Amino acid sequence: MNNASAGSVRVRVPASTANLGPGFDTLGMSLSLYIWVEMRRAERTTVHFEGEGFEGIPTDRNNLIYKVARLVFEAAGEEAPELAIGMRSDIPLTRGLGSSASAIIAGLVAANALVGTPLSKERLFDLATGLERHPDNVGASLFGGIVAAAWDGEHADYVRIEPPRNLRVLALIPEFELATSAARAVLPDQLSLQDAVYNISRSSLLTAALASGRLDLLQFAMRDRIHQPYRAALVPGMERILAEASEHGALGAALSGAGPTLLALVDREDGRHERLEAFMQQVMRENGIEARTLWLEPDLEGAVCEIRNPEDLLLPVIEGDLS
Ligand SMILES: Nc1ncnc2c1ncn2[C@@H]1O[C@H](COP(=O)(O)OP(=O)(O)OP(=O)(O)O)[C@@H](O)[C@H]1O
Ligand SMILES: N[C@@H](CCO)C(=O)O
C-alpha cells in the first residue's frame, strides 16, 4: 500500500458483514461490494459523489470521510489540509453491510497514503475501531477475509482468517434502513450466564470451523442468543429465515451486522442456490417487505490503493486544486 507522498490517491474498500451470528462485535467478514474514494489536497474542502444513495450526506468538512482523514494528518503531526474528496459506492447505506466502516477505512487509508504512509495498518485499525467502537466491520474492511478481533478501548488485536474456498454469500437486502444506533438501542444491558456461555461456545466453534474449513459445523455454530432475538422485531421475516434457511440449502444464516440485511452462507457447489434465494424472497414478501438479493464472495484483499486511470477520475478537475 505504499503510495509515498502521492498528490492524489484512490482507494478501494470492501463492504463487510459483522457478527456472523454469535460473534457479536468481534467477528467480521469482508464482502465483494466496494466503495472507491479519491482524495487530494485542495484550496477548499468539497465532497463529490458519483451514483445514488448519498442524499443528505454532507459535502463539506462535516463529511465522515473528511473528519477521519483529519485524524490521520493530526496523528502524523501535520496540520489537516482542505481536501477534495470524490467517491463512488456500491454499498447500500444503513443496511448492515458496514457502509460507515468502509467509509471510515477509506478516509483513513486514503489520507495515510496522501501523507506518505506514516501510520501502520495496525494503527489505522486502532483509529478506526475508536471511531466505530467495535472492531468487526472495520477489521474486515481493512484486512479483507474473515477477522476475529478484540478491543480494549485503546487498542484492537486481531487474527485474519482466510475464508474457506467454497464459501459464497447470499445477501437479502430489505428496502428499509435500520441505523446501527437504533438496532443497538433494543439490546439488554445485562445477559444471563447461560446466554453468555451459549454465545461464547458458538462463537469459538464458529471461528475454529471457519479457520479449518469445517463448513458442516456452521448451521450449529452460527446460532446466537445475545442480539438477534432482540432485533427480530425490527426485521419482519428474520426469525423464520434464520430458523429454516438450512432446509433450503444454507450452511448457516444470520442477521448481517445490525441489520436489516440477512445473510446466508452457502457452499458454492451446492445445487440449491435458486431454491434458497426464492425461499428468502418469499418470506420477505409474505411480511410485506421489499427486498433484493445479491450473490457475493468474501473479499480477500481488504483496503487497497488503486492506480488511477486518467479517463476514470471520480473527482472533477477543480480550478485551484493544489495537485
Ligand atoms: N460514504 C459515506 N460518506 C459519508 N458518510 C457515510 C458514508 N457511508 C456511510 N456513512 C454514514 O454512516 C451511516 C450508516 O452507518 P450505520 O452504522 O448506521 O449503518 P451501516 O454501517 O451501513 O451498517 P452496519 O454498521 O450495521 O453494518 C450513514 O447514515 C452515514 O451517516
Ligand atoms: N457488531 C455491530 C455491527 C454493526 O455496526 C452490531 O451488531 O451492532
What the block records as the C-alpha cell of 224 is 446466537
Q: Say how many Å lie between the CA of residue 205 and the centre of ligand 2.
A: 20
Q: What is the mean pLDDT of residues 65-88?
A: 95
Regarding whether 147 and 33 lie in a shared domain, the answer is yes
Question: Which residues are paired to 87 by β-bridges?
Answer: 37, 49
Q: What is the mean pLDDT of residues 294-307?
A: 94
Under the banding of pLDDT at 50, 70 and 90, the label for residue 309 is low
- pLDDT, residue 239, reads 97
User: How many angstroms separate the Cα of 319 from the Cα of each of 5, 87, 230, 293?
Assistant: 21, 19, 52, 42
Regarding whether 139 and 229 lie in a shared domain, the answer is no
User: For the chain, what percent of residues have pLDDT higher than 70?
Assistant: 93
Q: Looking at the domain assignment, is residue 1 inside a domain?
A: no
Under the banding of pLDDT at 50, 70 and 90, the label for residue 319 is very low
Give the residue whose CA is nearest to atom 22 of ligand 1.
94
Which ligand does the CA of 97 lie closest to? 1
- Cβ partners under 8 Å of residue 24, min gap 6: 199, 203, 224, 226, 227
State phi, psi for 95 to the nearest 5 degrees. -120, 0
Indicate the pTM of the whole model: 0.94
The CATH number of whichever domain residue 138 belongs to comes to 3.30.230.10
Express each pLDDT in 52-75 by its tens digit: 778 889 999 999 999 999 999 999
Give the residue whose CA is nearest to atom 31 of ligand 1.
57
| Nearest partner of 86 among 72, 69, 71, 74, judged by Cα | 69
Q: Looking at the domain assignment, is residue 321 inside a domain?
A: no
The annotation status of 95 as a binding-site residue, yes or no, is yes
Q: Say how many Å lie between the CA of residue 136 and the centre of ligand 2.
A: 8
Regarding whether 155 and 134 lie in a shared domain, the answer is yes
Q: Looking at the domain assignment, is residue 314 inside a domain?
A: no
Is the Cβ–Cβ distance between 142 and 105 less than 8 Å? yes
Q: Looking at the domain assignment, is residue 2 inside a domain?
A: no
The annotation status of 92 as a binding-site residue, yes or no, is yes
Is the Cβ–Cβ distance between 28 and 17 less than 8 Å? yes
- pLDDT, residue 6, reads 59
d(CA 275, CA 279): 6
Q: What is the mean pLDDT of residues 81-95?
A: 94
Express each pLDDT in 231-248 by its tens digit: 999 999 999 999 999 999
Q: Which of 162, 190, 209 is the last residue of a domain?
A: 162
Regarding whether 195 and 157 lie in a shared domain, the answer is no
302: left (phi over 0), alpha (psi -120 to 50) or beta: left
The H or E element containing residue 99 is helix 99-115
Look at the chain and report how many structural domains it folds into: 2
Q: Which of 130, 162, 194 is the last residue of a domain?
A: 162
d(CA 285, CA 172): 12
The annotation status of 322 as a binding-site residue, yes or no, is no
Under the banding of pLDDT at 50, 70 and 90, the label for residue 271 is confident
Is the Cβ–Cβ distance between 297 and 32 less than 8 Å? yes
Supply the range of the domain harboring residue 50.
8-162
- pLDDT, residue 51, reads 75
Express each pLDDT in 35-52 by its tens digit: 999 999 999 999 999 877
| Nearest partner of 90 among 12, 152, 29, 164, judged by Cα | 12
Does residue 294 surpass a pLDDT of 90? Answer: yes
Q: Say how many Å lie between the CA of residue 257 and the centre of ligand 2.
A: 5
Under the banding of pLDDT at 50, 70 and 90, the label for residue 293 is very high
User: How many angstroms separate the Cα of 266 from the Cα of each of 67, 78, 170, 296, 298?
Assistant: 38, 47, 7, 10, 12
Residue 142 or 307, more confident: 142
User: How many angstroms separate the Cα of 146 from the Cα of each of 98, 207, 230?
Assistant: 14, 9, 25
- pLDDT, residue 308, reads 65
Q: Say how many Å lie between the CA of residue 19 and the centre of ligand 1.
A: 17
- pLDDT, residue 323, reads 45
State phi, psi for 11 to the nearest 5 degrees. -120, 150
The strand ranges marked E within the chain are: 8-18, 27-41, 46-50, 83-89, 146-151, 156-161, 167-174, 252-255, 262-267, 291-296, 304-306
Q: Which atom of ligand 1 is nearest to the CA of 179?
A: 18
- pLDDT, residue 201, reads 98
Sheet holding 291-296, edge to edge: 252-255, 262-267, 167-174, 291-296
Question: Which residues are paired to 78 by β-bridges?
Answer: none
Q: What is the mean pLDDT of residues 119-128?
A: 97
Under the banding of pLDDT at 50, 70 and 90, the label for residue 315 is low
Show the ligand 2 pocket: residues with CB < 6 angstroms: 18-19, 24-25, 134, 136-137, 180, 183-184, 227, 257-258
The annotation status of 5 as a binding-site residue, yes or no, is no
| Nearest partner of 318 among 84, 88, 60, 114, judged by Cα | 84
Regarding whether 151 and 21 lie in a shared domain, the answer is yes
Regarding whether 120 and 173 lie in a shared domain, the answer is no
Regarding whether 248 and 136 lie in a shared domain, the answer is no
What is the average pLDDT value for the chain, to the nearest integer? 93
Regarding whether 85 and 49 lie in a shared domain, the answer is yes
| Nearest partner of 19 among 212, 184, 250, judged by Cα | 184
Show the ligand 1 pocket: residues with CB < 6 angstroms: 18, 35, 57, 63-65, 87, 89, 93-101, 103, 137, 179-180, 257-258
- The top-scoring range by mean pLDDT among 266-270, 303-307, 315-319 is 266-270
